[in-house]
Structure 1
Amino acid sequence: MATQAEEDLSGVAVEQADMVRVRLLRNMSPHTLSSLLAVERDAFPECERLGNYMQELSMQRNNGLVIAEDHRPPPGTPSGAFPAPLAEPQGFLLFSRTAEAGVIMKIAVAAAFRGRGVGTALLRCGIAELRRPLRRASPPTIMLHCDPTRIGARRMYESSGFVEAQRLTAYYGDGRDALLMKLSNEGRDALDADGEAQPPGGRA
Protein backbone atom coordinates (compact mmCIF):
# COMPACT_ATOMS: atom_id res chain seq x y z
CA MET A 1 0.00 0.00 0.00
CA ALA A 2 1.34 3.43 -0.92
CA THR A 3 2.24 5.76 1.93
CA GLN A 4 1.51 9.45 2.13
CA ALA A 5 5.20 10.11 1.47
CA GLU A 6 4.96 8.33 -1.88
CA GLU A 7 2.05 10.43 -3.09
CA ASP A 8 2.27 14.18 -2.56
CA LEU A 9 -1.01 15.94 -1.80
CA SER A 10 -1.81 19.20 -3.56
CA GLY A 11 -4.09 20.11 -0.66
CA VAL A 12 -6.67 18.76 1.73
CA ALA A 13 -10.16 18.09 0.39
CA VAL A 14 -12.71 20.71 1.35
CA GLU A 15 -15.41 18.18 2.17
CA GLN A 16 -15.53 14.54 3.17
CA ALA A 17 -18.64 12.34 3.07
CA ASP A 18 -18.83 8.65 3.88
CA MET A 19 -15.04 8.72 4.32
CA VAL A 20 -14.40 9.55 0.66
CA ARG A 21 -11.72 12.07 -0.22
CA VAL A 22 -11.12 13.77 -3.58
CA ARG A 23 -7.62 15.07 -4.21
CA LEU A 24 -5.10 16.01 -6.87
CA LEU A 25 -2.43 13.34 -7.32
CA ARG A 26 1.13 14.56 -7.84
CA ASN A 27 3.10 11.30 -7.85
CA MET A 28 1.79 7.83 -8.65
CA SER A 29 2.97 4.68 -6.90
CA PRO A 30 2.82 1.29 -8.70
CA HIS A 31 -0.03 0.24 -6.39
CA THR A 32 -2.09 3.32 -7.22
CA LEU A 33 -1.48 2.90 -10.95
CA SER A 34 -2.62 -0.71 -10.75
CA SER A 35 -5.77 0.33 -8.88
CA LEU A 36 -6.59 3.09 -11.36
CA LEU A 37 -6.09 0.76 -14.32
CA ALA A 38 -8.57 -1.64 -12.71
CA VAL A 39 -11.11 1.20 -12.46
CA GLU A 40 -10.47 2.08 -16.11
CA ARG A 41 -10.97 -1.52 -17.26
CA ASP A 42 -14.22 -1.62 -15.32
CA ALA A 43 -15.50 1.60 -16.90
CA PHE A 44 -14.35 1.60 -20.53
CA PRO A 45 -14.06 -0.74 -23.52
CA GLU A 46 -10.54 -1.50 -24.68
CA CYS A 47 -10.59 1.10 -27.46
CA GLU A 48 -11.02 3.89 -24.87
CA ARG A 49 -8.45 2.77 -22.31
CA LEU A 50 -5.16 4.55 -21.69
CA GLY A 51 -3.49 1.59 -20.00
CA ASN A 52 0.00 2.22 -18.67
CA TYR A 53 0.14 5.46 -20.68
CA MET A 54 -2.10 6.96 -18.00
CA GLN A 55 0.84 7.57 -15.69
CA GLU A 56 2.96 9.35 -18.30
CA LEU A 57 0.02 11.41 -19.54
CA SER A 58 -1.05 12.48 -16.05
CA MET A 59 2.43 13.72 -15.17
CA GLN A 60 2.87 15.93 -18.22
CA ARG A 61 3.31 19.61 -17.44
CA ASN A 62 -0.15 20.87 -18.42
CA ASN A 63 -2.09 17.81 -17.25
CA GLY A 64 -3.39 16.60 -13.91
CA LEU A 65 -5.06 13.62 -12.29
CA VAL A 66 -7.76 13.83 -9.61
CA ILE A 67 -8.65 10.71 -7.64
CA ALA A 68 -11.43 9.75 -5.22
CA GLU A 69 -10.39 7.49 -2.36
CA ASP A 70 -12.28 5.36 0.15
CA HIS A 71 -10.78 5.74 3.63
CA ARG A 72 -13.03 3.23 5.35
CA PRO A 73 -11.23 0.17 6.82
CA PRO A 74 -12.45 -3.27 5.71
CA PRO A 75 -15.75 -4.52 7.23
CA GLY A 76 -15.26 -6.20 10.61
CA THR A 77 -12.04 -4.35 11.41
CA PRO A 78 -11.80 -3.71 15.20
CA SER A 79 -11.91 -0.09 16.22
CA GLY A 80 -8.42 1.42 16.31
CA ALA A 81 -6.81 -1.51 14.49
CA PHE A 82 -6.00 0.64 11.46
CA PRO A 83 -4.32 3.88 12.57
CA ALA A 84 -3.99 4.76 8.86
CA PRO A 85 -7.20 3.60 7.11
CA LEU A 86 -6.98 2.01 3.70
CA ALA A 87 -7.37 4.41 0.77
CA GLU A 88 -8.42 2.60 -2.39
CA PRO A 89 -9.27 4.70 -5.47
CA GLN A 90 -12.97 4.76 -6.27
CA GLY A 91 -12.50 6.77 -9.42
CA PHE A 92 -10.35 9.28 -11.26
CA LEU A 93 -10.45 12.28 -13.57
CA LEU A 94 -7.70 13.24 -16.02
CA PHE A 95 -7.55 16.83 -17.29
CA SER A 96 -5.38 18.95 -19.56
CA ARG A 97 -4.82 22.67 -20.10
CA THR A 98 -4.15 24.31 -23.45
CA ALA A 99 -4.05 27.98 -24.43
CA GLU A 100 -7.51 27.64 -25.96
CA ALA A 101 -9.36 25.39 -23.51
CA GLY A 102 -9.34 23.17 -20.48
CA VAL A 103 -10.15 19.57 -21.34
CA ILE A 104 -11.67 16.85 -19.17
CA MET A 105 -9.90 13.98 -20.89
CA LYS A 106 -11.32 11.05 -18.95
CA ILE A 107 -13.48 10.40 -15.89
CA ALA A 108 -14.20 6.95 -14.47
CA VAL A 109 -15.84 5.56 -11.34
CA ALA A 110 -15.66 1.93 -10.21
CA ALA A 111 -18.98 0.13 -10.66
CA ALA A 112 -19.44 -0.48 -6.93
CA PHE A 113 -19.38 3.26 -6.21
CA ARG A 114 -21.51 4.66 -9.04
CA GLY A 115 -24.61 6.60 -8.16
CA ARG A 116 -23.10 7.94 -4.93
CA GLY A 117 -21.90 11.32 -6.16
CA VAL A 118 -18.29 10.27 -6.67
CA GLY A 119 -18.33 11.27 -10.35
CA THR A 120 -19.80 14.67 -9.54
CA ALA A 121 -17.16 15.25 -6.85
CA LEU A 122 -14.41 14.38 -9.33
CA LEU A 123 -15.91 16.62 -12.01
CA ARG A 124 -16.23 19.61 -9.72
CA CYS A 125 -12.68 19.18 -8.49
CA GLY A 126 -11.40 18.89 -12.08
CA ILE A 127 -13.24 22.06 -13.09
CA ALA A 128 -11.84 23.88 -10.07
CA GLU A 129 -8.29 22.81 -10.93
CA LEU A 130 -8.71 23.96 -14.54
CA ARG A 131 -10.00 27.32 -13.37
CA ARG A 132 -7.35 27.80 -10.69
CA PRO A 133 -5.10 30.76 -11.57
CA LEU A 134 -1.61 29.75 -12.62
CA ARG A 135 1.08 31.82 -14.28
CA ARG A 136 -1.34 32.49 -17.10
CA ALA A 137 -5.09 33.06 -17.09
CA SER A 138 -7.38 30.08 -16.66
CA PRO A 139 -8.70 28.64 -19.95
CA PRO A 140 -11.79 30.48 -21.26
CA THR A 141 -13.56 27.22 -22.14
CA ILE A 142 -13.76 23.80 -20.49
CA MET A 143 -14.86 20.91 -22.66
CA LEU A 144 -15.16 17.13 -22.78
CA HIS A 145 -16.38 14.30 -24.99
CA CYS A 146 -19.26 12.03 -24.03
CA ASP A 147 -20.78 8.90 -25.54
CA PRO A 148 -24.44 9.92 -26.06
CA THR A 149 -25.59 6.46 -24.96
CA ARG A 150 -24.07 6.97 -21.49
CA ILE A 151 -27.15 8.65 -20.10
CA GLY A 152 -25.95 8.88 -16.50
CA ALA A 153 -22.68 10.56 -17.46
CA ARG A 154 -24.45 12.96 -19.79
CA ARG A 155 -26.91 14.00 -17.07
CA MET A 156 -24.04 14.55 -14.66
CA TYR A 157 -22.29 16.84 -17.14
CA GLU A 158 -25.48 18.75 -17.89
CA SER A 159 -26.23 19.22 -14.19
CA SER A 160 -22.76 20.74 -13.82
CA GLY A 161 -23.44 23.26 -16.60
CA PHE A 162 -22.09 21.51 -19.70
CA VAL A 163 -24.07 21.88 -22.92
CA GLU A 164 -23.85 19.98 -26.20
CA ALA A 165 -21.79 21.86 -28.79
CA GLN A 166 -21.34 19.31 -31.57
CA ARG A 167 -21.94 15.66 -32.46
CA LEU A 168 -18.80 13.94 -33.76
CA THR A 169 -19.49 10.99 -36.05
CA ALA A 170 -17.50 7.78 -35.44
CA TYR A 171 -15.31 9.54 -32.86
CA TYR A 172 -14.46 6.42 -30.88
CA GLY A 173 -12.30 3.61 -32.21
CA ASP A 174 -15.23 1.21 -32.49
CA GLY A 175 -17.29 3.61 -34.60
CA ARG A 176 -19.48 5.17 -31.91
CA ASP A 177 -20.35 8.85 -32.07
CA ALA A 178 -19.38 11.34 -29.38
CA LEU A 179 -20.86 14.58 -28.11
CA LEU A 180 -18.53 17.52 -27.69
CA MET A 181 -19.78 19.31 -24.58
CA LYS A 182 -18.67 22.68 -23.25
CA LEU A 183 -19.16 24.32 -19.88
CA SER A 184 -21.59 27.17 -20.38
CA ASN A 185 -21.19 30.59 -18.79
CA GLU A 186 -24.33 29.85 -16.77
CA GLY A 187 -22.72 26.66 -15.51
CA ARG A 188 -19.57 28.52 -14.49
CA ASP A 189 -21.67 31.08 -12.60
CA ALA A 190 -23.66 28.37 -10.84
CA LEU A 191 -20.51 26.60 -9.70
CA ASP A 192 -19.18 29.87 -8.33
CA ALA A 193 -22.45 30.59 -6.54
CA ASP A 194 -22.68 27.32 -4.63
CA GLY A 195 -19.04 27.44 -3.57
CA GLU A 196 -18.33 23.83 -4.51
CA ALA A 197 -15.86 24.58 -7.27
CA GLN A 198 -13.02 25.49 -4.98
CA PRO A 199 -10.05 23.11 -5.34
CA PRO A 200 -9.33 20.44 -4.54
CA GLY A 201 -12.48 18.89 -3.01
CA GLY A 202 -16.10 18.15 -3.71
CA ARG A 203 -19.12 16.36 -2.37
CA ALA A 204 -18.78 12.57 -2.52
Structure 2
Amino acid sequence: MIGCDVAEGLAPINDKHKHGDYSSIDVLDRSGYQVAHWSGHVAPDDLGKMLNHLGRYYNNALLGVERNNHGLTTITKLKDLKYPNLYMETTVDQRTQKRTKRLGWLTTTKSKPLMIDHLAALLRDADAGICNLDTVKECQTYVIEDNGATNAQEGCFDDQVISYSIAQQMVLKLPRRKININELQYRSPGKSAY
Protein backbone atom coordinates (compact mmCIF):
# COMPACT_ATOMS: atom_id res chain seq x y z
CA MET A 1 0.00 0.00 0.00
CA ILE A 2 1.16 3.53 -0.75
CA GLY A 3 0.02 6.75 0.89
CA CYS A 4 0.88 10.14 -0.57
CA ASP A 5 0.54 13.70 0.74
CA VAL A 6 0.90 16.12 -2.18
CA ALA A 7 2.51 19.46 -1.32
CA GLU A 8 0.09 22.37 -1.35
CA GLY A 9 2.79 24.70 -2.66
CA LEU A 10 2.44 27.00 0.33
CA ALA A 11 4.69 30.03 0.58
CA PRO A 12 7.69 29.71 2.90
CA ILE A 13 7.04 30.76 6.49
CA ASN A 14 10.63 31.66 7.36
CA ASP A 15 14.23 31.18 6.21
CA LYS A 16 14.34 27.69 7.73
CA HIS A 17 11.42 26.58 5.53
CA LYS A 18 12.26 28.45 2.32
CA HIS A 19 10.63 25.87 0.07
CA GLY A 20 7.25 25.52 1.77
CA ASP A 21 5.81 22.09 2.49
CA TYR A 22 6.92 18.78 1.01
CA SER A 23 5.29 16.00 -0.93
CA SER A 24 5.66 12.74 0.95
CA ILE A 25 5.23 9.08 -0.02
CA ASP A 26 5.09 6.01 2.22
CA VAL A 27 5.08 2.39 1.08
CA LEU A 28 3.79 -0.20 3.55
CA ASP A 29 3.55 -3.94 3.36
CA ARG A 30 0.30 -5.80 4.03
CA SER A 31 0.91 -5.74 7.80
CA GLY A 32 1.48 -1.96 7.88
CA TYR A 33 5.28 -2.06 8.13
CA GLN A 34 7.06 0.85 6.37
CA VAL A 35 9.23 -0.55 3.57
CA ALA A 36 10.03 2.67 1.66
CA HIS A 37 9.72 6.41 2.12
CA TRP A 38 10.36 9.53 0.02
CA SER A 39 9.91 13.21 0.82
CA GLY A 40 10.85 16.22 -1.31
CA HIS A 41 9.84 18.95 -3.70
CA VAL A 42 8.45 17.98 -7.10
CA ALA A 43 5.70 19.26 -9.39
CA PRO A 44 2.35 17.46 -8.81
CA ASP A 45 2.30 15.90 -12.31
CA ASP A 46 5.89 14.65 -11.92
CA LEU A 47 4.84 13.22 -8.55
CA GLY A 48 2.18 11.25 -10.45
CA LYS A 49 4.90 9.80 -12.71
CA MET A 50 6.99 8.86 -9.65
CA LEU A 51 4.01 7.19 -7.99
CA ASN A 52 3.21 5.28 -11.17
CA HIS A 53 6.72 3.78 -11.26
CA LEU A 54 6.80 3.13 -7.52
CA GLY A 55 3.35 1.53 -7.41
CA ARG A 56 4.12 -0.76 -10.34
CA TYR A 57 7.45 -1.72 -8.75
CA TYR A 58 5.57 -2.76 -5.63
CA ASN A 59 3.20 -5.14 -7.45
CA ASN A 60 0.62 -2.52 -8.46
CA ALA A 61 0.22 -1.42 -4.85
CA LEU A 62 -3.04 0.11 -3.69
CA LEU A 63 -2.29 3.81 -4.07
CA GLY A 64 -3.99 6.41 -1.85
CA VAL A 65 -3.21 9.95 -2.97
CA GLU A 66 -4.60 12.82 -0.92
CA ARG A 67 -6.87 14.55 -3.41
CA ASN A 68 -7.05 17.86 -1.56
CA ASN A 69 -5.60 20.81 -3.54
CA HIS A 70 -2.78 19.80 -5.92
CA GLY A 71 -3.48 16.10 -5.35
CA LEU A 72 -6.05 16.26 -8.16
CA THR A 73 -3.24 17.01 -10.62
CA THR A 74 -1.29 14.00 -9.34
CA ILE A 75 -4.36 11.75 -9.59
CA THR A 76 -5.09 13.01 -13.12
CA LYS A 77 -1.53 12.10 -14.18
CA LEU A 78 -1.95 8.61 -12.66
CA LYS A 79 -5.22 8.19 -14.58
CA ASP A 80 -3.49 9.31 -17.80
CA LEU A 81 -0.77 6.71 -17.14
CA LYS A 82 -3.50 4.09 -16.53
CA TYR A 83 -2.30 3.17 -13.07
CA PRO A 84 -4.34 0.03 -12.25
CA ASN A 85 -4.91 0.26 -8.49
CA LEU A 86 -5.93 3.75 -7.31
CA TYR A 87 -7.93 4.04 -4.10
CA MET A 88 -11.52 4.99 -4.82
CA GLU A 89 -13.71 6.49 -2.12
CA THR A 90 -17.43 5.75 -2.20
CA THR A 91 -19.84 8.12 -0.49
CA VAL A 92 -23.60 7.75 -0.09
CA ASP A 93 -25.91 10.76 -0.09
CA GLN A 94 -28.07 10.38 3.01
CA ARG A 95 -31.14 11.92 1.38
CA THR A 96 -31.11 10.29 -2.07
CA GLN A 97 -29.03 7.17 -1.29
CA LYS A 98 -27.05 7.92 -4.46
CA ARG A 99 -23.52 6.52 -4.45
CA THR A 100 -20.65 8.69 -5.65
CA LYS A 101 -17.17 7.33 -6.38
CA ARG A 102 -14.11 9.56 -6.42
CA LEU A 103 -10.46 8.66 -6.82
CA GLY A 104 -8.06 9.50 -4.00
CA TRP A 105 -8.19 10.09 -0.28
CA LEU A 106 -9.96 13.26 0.90
CA THR A 107 -8.66 14.59 4.20
CA THR A 108 -11.51 16.45 5.92
CA THR A 109 -12.53 17.45 9.43
CA LYS A 110 -14.23 14.02 9.60
CA SER A 111 -11.54 11.80 8.05
CA LYS A 112 -8.46 13.44 9.61
CA PRO A 113 -9.35 12.57 13.23
CA LEU A 114 -9.99 8.95 12.17
CA MET A 115 -6.63 8.57 10.47
CA ILE A 116 -4.69 10.42 13.19
CA ASP A 117 -6.43 8.50 15.99
CA HIS A 118 -5.61 5.24 14.21
CA LEU A 119 -1.94 6.28 13.95
CA ALA A 120 -1.94 7.30 17.63
CA ALA A 121 -3.30 3.86 18.58
CA LEU A 122 -0.61 2.14 16.50
CA LEU A 123 2.09 4.25 18.16
CA ARG A 124 0.66 3.67 21.64
CA ASP A 125 0.53 -0.09 21.06
CA ALA A 126 4.07 -0.09 19.58
CA ASP A 127 2.56 -1.46 16.37
CA ALA A 128 3.22 1.44 13.96
CA GLY A 129 6.05 -0.09 11.93
CA ILE A 130 7.71 3.27 11.19
CA CYS A 131 11.33 2.85 10.08
CA ASN A 132 12.15 6.34 8.80
CA LEU A 133 13.72 8.57 11.48
CA ASP A 134 12.35 11.77 9.89
CA THR A 135 8.82 10.36 10.11
CA VAL A 136 9.39 9.60 13.79
CA LYS A 137 10.63 13.17 14.35
CA GLU A 138 7.53 14.60 12.66
CA CYS A 139 5.31 12.45 14.88
CA GLN A 140 7.09 13.96 17.90
CA THR A 141 6.21 17.52 16.79
CA TYR A 142 2.61 16.74 15.84
CA VAL A 143 0.26 18.30 18.39
CA ILE A 144 -3.36 18.68 19.43
CA GLU A 145 -4.24 22.37 19.52
CA ASP A 146 -6.55 24.07 22.03
CA ASN A 147 -9.47 23.89 19.56
CA GLY A 148 -8.97 20.12 19.12
CA ALA A 149 -7.36 20.36 15.67
CA THR A 150 -4.23 18.33 15.02
CA ASN A 151 -1.27 19.81 13.14
CA ALA A 152 2.47 20.21 13.18
CA GLN A 153 3.91 22.50 15.84
CA GLU A 154 4.63 25.99 14.57
CA GLY A 155 7.79 25.92 12.46
CA CYS A 156 7.53 22.16 11.85
CA PHE A 157 6.06 19.96 9.11
CA ASP A 158 3.44 17.20 9.14
CA ASP A 159 3.65 15.91 5.55
CA GLN A 160 5.23 12.60 6.56
CA VAL A 161 2.69 12.08 9.35
CA ILE A 162 -0.12 12.57 6.82
CA SER A 163 1.35 10.32 4.10
CA TYR A 164 2.04 7.60 6.66
CA SER A 165 -1.49 7.92 8.09
CA ILE A 166 -3.00 7.68 4.61
CA ALA A 167 -0.88 4.60 3.89
CA GLN A 168 -2.17 3.03 7.13
CA GLN A 169 -5.73 3.78 5.99
CA MET A 170 -4.94 1.92 2.75
CA VAL A 171 -3.87 -1.07 4.87
CA LEU A 172 -7.33 -0.99 6.50
CA LYS A 173 -9.08 -0.70 3.10
CA LEU A 174 -7.18 -3.58 1.52
CA PRO A 175 -9.31 -6.70 1.07
CA ARG A 176 -8.16 -9.44 3.37
CA ARG A 177 -6.49 -12.35 1.64
CA LYS A 178 -8.26 -15.68 1.75
CA ILE A 179 -6.00 -18.51 2.77
CA ASN A 180 -6.55 -21.88 1.20
CA ILE A 181 -6.39 -24.48 3.94
CA ASN A 182 -4.32 -26.70 1.62
CA GLU A 183 -1.59 -24.00 1.55
CA LEU A 184 -1.07 -24.41 5.28
CA GLN A 185 1.33 -27.15 6.21
CA TYR A 186 -0.43 -28.87 9.08
CA ARG A 187 0.98 -31.98 10.55
CA SER A 188 -1.28 -34.56 11.99
CA PRO A 189 -0.75 -34.76 15.74
CA GLY A 190 0.70 -38.02 16.94
CA LYS A 191 -0.97 -40.23 19.55
CA SER A 192 0.76 -38.26 22.26
CA ALA A 193 -1.39 -35.23 21.43
CA TYR A 194 -4.58 -37.02 22.52
TM-score by length of 2: 0.29
Greater radius of gyration (CA): 2
Larger RCO, structure (CA 8 Å, separation 6 or more): 2
Question: Counting helix residues as a fraction of each chain, which structure ranks higher?
Answer: 2
